Structure 1
Amino acid sequence: MRRSVKTILLLIVLVVIGAAVLRLGHDYFMRTAYPLGYREIVEEEARAQGVDPALVYAVMKAESNFDPDATSHAGARGLMQITPDTFDWLQTKLREGVSYTADDLYTPRVNIRYGCKFLQILQDEYTEQVTALSAYNAGMGTVNRWLRDPSISEDGVELNRIPYPETERYVSAVLRNYQTYRELYEFDEIGGTFHG
Structure 2
Amino acid sequence: MKKYKKVLLVCAIAAVLLLLGWYFLNREYKYFMRSAYPLKYTDIVAKEATANHLDPAMVYSVMKAESNFNPDAKSRAGAIGLMQLTPDTFDWVQTKLKSSEKYTEEDLYTPEINIRYGCKLLSILFDKYSKQATALSAYNAGIGTVNSWLKNPDISKDGVVLDNIPFEETRSYVDVVLKNYENYKKTYQFNSKGENMNDDETWQGRSQKNVG
Matched with 1:86 is 89
Alignment of 1:173 with 2:176, yes or no, is yes
Note the aligned Cα RMSD (angstroms): 1.0
Aligned with residue 8 of structure 1, among 7, 11, 24? 11
**Amino acid of the residue matched to residue 179 of structure 2?**
R
Residue 15 of structure 1: CA displacement? 1.1
Matches within 5 A, 1:121-160: 121-160=124-163
Q: Secondary structure at the match of 1:111?
A: helix
Residue 73 of structure 1: CA displacement? 1.1
Matched with 2:78 is 75
Matched with 1:25 is 28
Matched with 1:193 is 195
TM-score by length of 2: 0.89
**Amino acid of the residue matched to residue 195 of structure 2?**
T
Matched with 2:120 is 117
Instruction: Name stretches of at least 5 consecutive residues in structure 2 with no aligned partner.
Output: 199-212
Instruction: Name stretches of at least 5 consecutive residues in structure 1 with no aligned partner.
Output: none
TM-score by length of 1: 0.96
Alignment of 1:59 with 2:62, yes or no, is yes
Aligned length, in residue pairs: 195
**Amino acid of the residue matched to residue 167 of structure 2?**
Y
Matched with 1:104 is 107
Q: Secondary structure at the match of 1:187?
A: coil
Moved over 3 A (4+): none
Deviations 1:103-126 (A, max 9, x none): 111110000000000001101111
